[in-house]
Amino acid sequence: MGRTRRKAKPIDLYYWPTPNGWKVSVMLEECGLPYNVIPVNIARGDQFKPDFLEISPNNRMPAIVDPDGPGGRPISVVESGAILQYLGRKTGKFYPAGERARVAVDEWLFWQMANLGPKAGEASHFRRYAPEKIPYALDRYGNEMNRLYGVMNRRLKDRRFLAGSYSIADMACVGWIRLFERLGETFKGFPHLQRWLAAVRARPAVQRGMHVRVEEASRVDVSDPKVRAVLFGQRAR
């Protein structure tokens, strides 16, 4: 008789439906890994609870706890890029073993972490959440987003995906691009970026991962001063 394959234990995903949260839910779906969604209501302040801070000292989601970590022992992983790399190594999927191919993926993963994510976050904040419209901030971050779209568009001119083959680099970027699509961006002047976005969003696992619902998220009122204080008013504790 063949050896019975041990059923994988679900990974705990500490999650809220944001571009960073989507990165990990998409990767888990792409890899076919079982997972439990544990909501971290960032509008209520769940990210500052002592139990969560034991996992994520920077009080940020997403985070995971994998009961089947290295050596069969549980491991927690924070920072969305690090989680993607960990899951890629764990499964051997979407994160190549060959050095040249892996460097290409890392370059664009780190590009997202250092450029696309932070700049998109600021651009979105000043468009959607700032109590007053500040022309300088709108122009500053709007121009930077346009520059970053151009970087992606040039990269994708002769490649289907950012690192050649579909990878965690694409998963890291798609949620941030989708965010601006929802804000009315059409990417009309960036045809290669448009084509890439359509290709990534057509993947069933991406669709599932980006539609992981948290019921209470739909009830968050960002105009509530208490919510704004939690989201935008934190200092060192």
Summarised one tens digit per residue, pLDDT across range 78-100 is 999 999 999 999 999 999 999 99
Res 1: pLDDT:
46
**Domain identity same for 218 and 154:** no
Which band of pLDDT confidence, cut at 50, 70 and 90, is reported for residue 190?
A: very high
Q: Are strands 35-39 and 11-15 parallel, antiparallel or unpaired?
A: parallel
Residues in a beta bridge with 66: 75
User: Do residues 231 and 222 make contact, with C-beta atoms less than 8 angstroms apart?
Assistant: yes
- Tell me the Cα Rg of the chain: 19
Domain shared by 130 and 148, yes or no: yes
How many structural domains compose the chain?
2
CB–CB of 130/124 below 8 Å?
A: no
Please give the residue range of the domain that contains residue 178.
99-202
Judgement on whether residues 159 and 114 belong to the same structural domain of the protein: yes
**Residues paired with residue 126 on neighbouring β-strands, in sequence order:** none
- Model confidence at 5, in pLDDT bands (50, 70, 90)? low
The CATH number linked to 58 is 3.40.30.10
d(CA 79, CA 33): 19
Sign of CA dihedral 114, 115, 116, 121: positive
DSSP per-residue string spanning 110-138? HHIIIIIHHHHHHHHHHHHT-SS--HHHH
- pLDDT, tens only, 20-42: 999 999 999 999 999 999 999 99
